[in-house]
Structure 1
Amino acid sequence: MKVTISYAHDDWGRAISQALVVALRQRGVDVLWDRDLPAENPPSLPEWIVNGIAGNPVICVLSPDYVRRFGRGDGSADRKGVLFESRILLRRIFDHTEPEHCPVVPVADPGFSADLAPVVLKNLVIARFDPVSGDGVDVIVRRLLRLGHLRGAEPEPEPAELEPRDIPQVAPRATHQVLRDLEVASPSTTDGLELVREWLSFAAREEPCPVDLVRGFSAIERIIKSAGDANLMSVVSDHCLSAFSAGPLSDQEKKLKARILIRGRAWHLYRGHELRAAEQAVHEGVELAKGCGDRWSLALGRGSLGALHRALAADAYGNAADYHLDKAEDNAESAITMFTAMAGAGYQAGVCTKLLAQVWFTKHHRGQRGALRQASKLADRAVCLLTPDRARQYHDLLILRAEIAVARGELTRAREFVDRAMRSLGRYQSDGASYVELLGCAYLARARLQLKEDGRDAQRDAMKDAETALKLFYELDIPYAVAGCRWLLIRLAPETEGIYRGDIKMVERLFPDPRERLRAVEERARRIEERAGNRWSRQAEWQDIVRKVRHHD
């Protein structure tokens, strides 16, 4: 059975493809690519492309020109072969609802950022291949074997110019091999995600999921969180939780289930802004941790509840917001106390200290006196616990310190923090979606700083940064963050949405949730367009808008 290579004829596309073809053929794979077309009297090229892509599994080589042209028609003749091939590939992908069964395999070099890939290919899990060392080809072959396309393929004779090698046959792998590889996998590589998919193929064979497989959750968690893939975490968590019976659990089972609930299910629900469901999952995990005496999971649960109540406060009104902030403070302080009492838990204590600083910063936004000073003190304390080698949390803290400095009017200090964060995050951007998300937060922080600096081009530059953040969050599929960016852009130019500047403060006062603000703006603009009359809405009209937005009438 043949495998077709789809690639662009830019320098990097040719280099990766040529090395990949050689490596695959050495392993007995029959490769079809356009370099094998006869120079004279070639067959109809469109027909050749259709037959090759429609009838075989396809490897897509993600080079700059391939990514730029995949599925994007603009009337240009540039790379029209890639455009033609991509339209056929989109149809094949559409016909396969389960990514692990899709016969399209995106491949890129190790330095390629997965976030630059076309969304439809990024969802398939990108395999890595080093054209210099050949690293990664065996993972690609195993992936093709699981598709069932290459079983029984016989090796072809080596090309004359190559030295013969003894290449071991790729055999189906056992569960313990996958678990071992997960433990040693680098979380930021796409090979790690491929191992998670392989783990899922084992988990899907039995219902409920075998407990031995569930013991790989900690390694899987690191990989998925590095990629920021909430949907994948949802699937993994559901499989893992199915392993536990409804009856009494041993202490070891309680400990394992508690961590899956707190670190898995609650995490993906939080990412989707399903805060109440996430809170319920954490409470269940906390009760299990109490029952088996697992202090570590109990402290993690307290920290998670602190973060959830802070997020709930941001969307709440009046006394409800104050309630959630008090709960967030209590849980964060409880987690700090627990982690401080444990040996080797200084990093986790630092994470919770940062959280407590964020809680007090939110209290400042609600007008509590002295809250800004307390937030600044706590952020400075967290610096001593979160060193730069703890990259994600350290950068989150840098961004928080920049925002606190802006609120205190210390603009030079704020500029120092945000510039340092953005320079550093630029180096980490290829290490996973979680860093890209932080980069989006840094762009937002810089936009707010520029508005405070009030230079000649402040508003234009702030809008540019907000638009960049919006693009990053949109590509990462984080709707709540997207709504926050869109609201900032509306604040800067309300006339583009058909509302007045006087409407902005009213919307912010009535709707803490940015998603509700967007719906309110849409409703207000519709009313302005449909009638002539007073510029300002009457109180009764705003009450009607509130009813429509909150109850989706």
Structure 2
Amino acid sequence: MRVFISYAHDTQGRKVAQALADALRKRGVDVLWDRDLPEGNPVSLPEWIVTSVTAYPVLCVLSPDYVLRFGAGDGTAARKGTLFESRVLQRRIYDHTDPGGCPVIPVAGLGFSADLAPVVLKNLVISRFDAETEDGLEQIVRRLLALRPAPVPAGPIAASVQVSGEMTLVQDLEAVAPTSAIGPALVHDWLAAVPGLDRAALLRALPAVERIIKAAGDTEAMRQMTDCCLRALPDRSPAAGDRRARAWLLIRCQAWHLHRRHELTAAVSTVDEGIRLAKECGDGGLVASGKRLLATLHCELAEVSSPYARRHHLALAVENARAASAMFDALDPAGDEYGACRNVLAGIWFTRYRLDRRRSALKLANKLAAQAVGYLPKDRAREYHELVILRARICIARGELPRARGLIDKALASLADHAGDGASYTELLGAAHLARAELRLKENGRDALVNAAREVSLALGFFDEISLPYASATCRWLLAKLVPETAGVERGDVRICERLFADSRVRLLGLEERSRRIGECVGGRWTRRTEWKEIARKLHSQV
């Protein structure tokens, strides 16, 4: 999307226009204004102004000088550009007869009185924009997106216009902020257009669509997007570009929605296929990303597996994380991608410690996490916060409680600024509160159980908000473990259930069945252990 900014060169006009141009460009909007003209005058400045004002949406930045010179000037030769622009703008407003929105959008700072606006612009809706905080930008972007051309009926004479409309949709996807309220609607429109998109338009839009869907945490939209795109791209195509696109979709998108649904085995198969395709087309970076994801998936599989399978998954997790580290280090020595791999590897060894209680694993996890600190910058926000939370949990396990408290407070304070930035940050907030619950229990104060349960409840709220079923089930299991009577069972039942099942979802089903039997006195003639064996047989036959 391209827009033209019309403004006057007084202090207020320059300040608002500069902030507006910078903010729009961060959204991918192509901004035209006189700051980008060469130092020498263009061949025809009036022609450049007429072309810009008549061909693109115009943002009129209202300021005292702009108002003074709009349409009629003030009798001096100063600011003739503003006077000329305003006359062309008046003509465009007068010529606007479409039922849609007017392509001229007045923009004013928060302190500017609407009563001062020129009559022609006062009749339009004035958008407010704060040059300091960028408040109001979302509304301006929405108004610009609403000026997109309407869909053109199918037909031979409409073909070229239809292609133009498709590219406009792609540009809108690139311009909108991932967390914008209109992002999901644009994705919906794009999904409907996917079957008719040419390959170039399809591939260009994928990164923007991925960002919007992941920001919303919408697994169903990601599933639909992946299915549509994989159908649109030729299967077994000899073209390296097609194979790379399919590999990218499998690793970045399909595995993502399977992972969020905790369908870990299916996600592993998907990533394996993506890595195979990425190797065929020689994309080493994508192969490395796939192996890093495989490491995470195998680590999580270890947590819900039997002891024998657990060792197998942990070995594969370490193997893939080390391979990804070596590949990223070769591509970008000691870069932040390498640091992200160190972070994953530290998490794997910490998981091994939690499952096997080997102090050597905890020591290695601490060493790797300390290494990762030197590689991960704060602008890698997700990995950076994951690392801070992981280091806090390692400190809790090592008994370094004051240091753990400081790290958790640091994570929560930093994440509070990102709480509205999408599902990824909401998930991390939940993880930070779970770490704080661990800390409360380790501190073992008088109200340790109550405080820990409060932190787990907060985490549950975050996970429910972004529809993470397995994380939510884990929180509910922890609450039952902390306060068994709320689940209708006794503490001994919780201990037996924990030994019998590794998956939090199955554990909850076990507690529910045990509670039902207690209420109906079904197992009165059996011991608790015998009845749990019966419950285990029942659940294993169902799952």
Report if TM-score (shorter chain) is over 0.5. Answer: yes
Distance in 2 between residues matched to 1:457 and 1:110, nearest whole Å = 48
Aligned partner of 1:373 among 347, 352, 363: 363
Q: Which residue type is aligned with residue 254 of structure 2? A: R
* Equivalent in the alignment of 1:188: 179
Q: Which residue type is aligned with residue 457 of structure 2? A: E
How far residue 549 of structure 1 moved from its aligned partner, in angstroms, is 1.6
Q: Which residue type is aligned with residue 515 of structure 2? A: A
1:211·1:243 contact (CA, 8 Å) conserved in 2?
no
- What do the CA deviations read for 1:22-58 (whole angstroms, capped 9, x no partner)? xxxx997699xxxxxxxxxxxxxxxxxxxxxxxxxxx
**Alpha carbons of 1:401 and 1:278: their partners in 2 closer, same or farther (altered >3 Å)?**
same
* Equivalent in the alignment of 1:415: 405
- What do the CA deviations read for 1:471-525 (whole angstroms, capped 9, x no partner)? 1111211110110110111011101212111122211111111001100101111
**Alpha carbons of 1:386 and 1:259: their partners in 2 closer, same or farther (altered >3 Å)?**
same
* Equivalent in the alignment of 1:480: 470
Does residue 383 of structure 1 match 2:373?
Answer: yes
Aligned partner of 2:490 among 495, 500, 507: 500
Task: Judge which range, 431-440 or 531-540, deviates more.
Answer: 531-540
1:395-544 equivalent positions in 2, closer than 5 A: 395-531=385-521, 537-544=527-534
2:254·2:270 contact (CA, 8 Å) conserved in 1?
yes
- What do the CA deviations read for 1:127-160 (whole angstroms, capped 9, x no partner)? x9939974422334659x6799xxxxxxxxxxxx
1:183·1:219 contact (CA, 8 Å) conserved in 2?
yes
Distance in 2 between residues matched to 1:274 and 1:174, nearest whole Å = 38
Does residue 212 of structure 1 match 2:201?
Answer: yes
Distance in 2 between residues matched to 1:172 and 1:522, nearest whole Å = 56
Task: Specify the SS of the correspondent of 1:341.
Answer: helix
2:392·2:405 contact (CA, 8 Å) conserved in 1?
yes
Q: Which residue type is aligned with residue 264 of structure 1? A: C
How far residue 276 of structure 1 moved from its aligned partner, in angstroms, is 1.4
* Equivalent in the alignment of 1:316: 305
How far residue 274 of structure 1 moved from its aligned partner, in angstroms, is 1.1
Distance in 2 between residues matched to 1:196 and 1:344, nearest whole Å = 37
* Equivalent in the alignment of 1:273: 262
Distance in 1 between residues matched to 2:233 and 2:260, nearest whole Å = 25
More relative contact order, 1 or 2 (CA 8 Å, 6+ apart): 1
* Equivalent in the alignment of 1:136: 142
Q: Radius of gyration: which is bigger?
A: 2
**Alpha carbons of 1:450 and 1:247: their partners in 2 closer, same or farther (altered >3 Å)?**
closer
Does residue 546 of structure 1 match 2:539?
Answer: no
Q: Percent of pairs identical after alignment?
A: 43
Distance in 2 between residues matched to 1:307 and 1:301, nearest whole Å = 10
* Equivalent in the alignment of 1:303: 292
Distance in 2 between residues matched to 1:529 and 1:520, nearest whole Å = 14
Q: Which residue type is aligned with residue 322 of structure 1? A: R
**Alpha carbons of 1:133 and 1:211: their partners in 2 closer, same or farther (altered >3 Å)?**
closer
How far residue 378 of structure 1 moved from its aligned partner, in angstroms, is 0.9
1:405·1:413 contact (CA, 8 Å) conserved in 2?
yes
How far residue 389 of structure 1 moved from its aligned partner, in angstroms, is 1.8
* Equivalent in the alignment of 2:194: 203
**Alpha carbons of 1:147 and 1:392: their partners in 2 closer, same or farther (altered >3 Å)?**
farther
Distance in 1 between residues matched to 2:334 and 2:192, nearest whole Å = 35
* Equivalent in the alignment of 1:291: 280
1:28-107 equivalent positions in 2, closer than 5 A: none
How far residue 252 of structure 1 moved from its aligned partner, in angstroms, is 1.8
Task: Specify the SS of the correspondent of 1:190.
Answer: coil
Q: Which residue type is aligned with residue 514 of structure 2? A: R
2:237·2:243 contact (CA, 8 Å) conserved in 1?
no
Task: Specify the SS of the correspondent of 1:136.
Answer: helix
How far residue 534 of structure 1 moved from its aligned partner, in angstroms, is 7.0
1:130·1:136 contact (CA, 8 Å) conserved in 2?
no
2:243·2:281 contact (CA, 8 Å) conserved in 1?
yes
Task: Judge which range, 225-234 or 431-440, deviates more.
Answer: 225-234
How far residue 240 of structure 1 moved from its aligned partner, in angstroms, is 1.4
* Equivalent in the alignment of 1:87: none
Distance in 2 between residues matched to 1:510 and 1:453, nearest whole Å = 28
Distance in 2 between residues matched to 1:191 and 1:350, nearest whole Å = 34
Does residue 348 of structure 1 match 2:354?
Answer: no
* Equivalent in the alignment of 1:246: 235
Distance in 1 between residues matched to 2:425 and 2:210, nearest whole Å = 16
- What do the CA deviations read for 1:275-314 (whole angstroms, capped 9, x no partner)? 1111111111111111122111111111111111111111
**Alpha carbons of 1:523 and 1:110: their partners in 2 closer, same or farther (altered >3 Å)?**
farther
How far residue 324 of structure 1 moved from its aligned partner, in angstroms, is 0.6
Any runs of at least 4 consecutive aligned residues in structure 1 with deviations exceeding 6 A, and if so which? 26-31, 532-536
Task: Specify the SS of the correspondent of 1:366.
Answer: helix
Size of the aligned set, in residue pairs, is 412
Q: Which residue type is aligned with residue 253 of structure 1? A: D
Q: Which residue type is aligned with residue 288 of structure 1? A: L
Q: Which residue type is aligned with residue 298 of structure 2? A: H
1:336·1:353 contact (CA, 8 Å) conserved in 2?
yes
**Alpha carbons of 1:427 and 1:502: their partners in 2 closer, same or farther (altered >3 Å)?**
same
Q: Which residue type is aligned with residue 386 of structure 1? A: L
Task: Specify the SS of the correspondent of 2:232.
Answer: coil
1:279·1:308 contact (CA, 8 Å) conserved in 2?
yes
Distance in 2 between residues matched to 1:515 and 1:288, nearest whole Å = 34
Distance in 1 between residues matched to 2:467 and 2:430, nearest whole Å = 12
**Alpha carbons of 1:530 and 1:294: their partners in 2 closer, same or farther (altered >3 Å)?**
same
Task: Specify the SS of the correspondent of 2:418.
Answer: helix
How far residue 467 of structure 1 moved from its aligned partner, in angstroms, is 1.1
Aligned partner of 2:318 among 329, 344, 354: 329
* Equivalent in the alignment of 1:339: 328
* Structure 2 unaligned blocks of 5 or more: 1-95, 102-127, 154-161
1:313·1:324 contact (CA, 8 Å) conserved in 2?
yes
How far residue 343 of structure 1 moved from its aligned partner, in angstroms, is 2.5
How far residue 446 of structure 1 moved from its aligned partner, in angstroms, is 0.8
* Equivalent in the alignment of 2:384: 394
Task: Specify the SS of the correspondent of 2:420.
Answer: helix
**Alpha carbons of 1:294 and 1:418: their partners in 2 closer, same or farther (altered >3 Å)?**
same
**Alpha carbons of 1:503 and 1:291: their partners in 2 closer, same or farther (altered >3 Å)?**
same
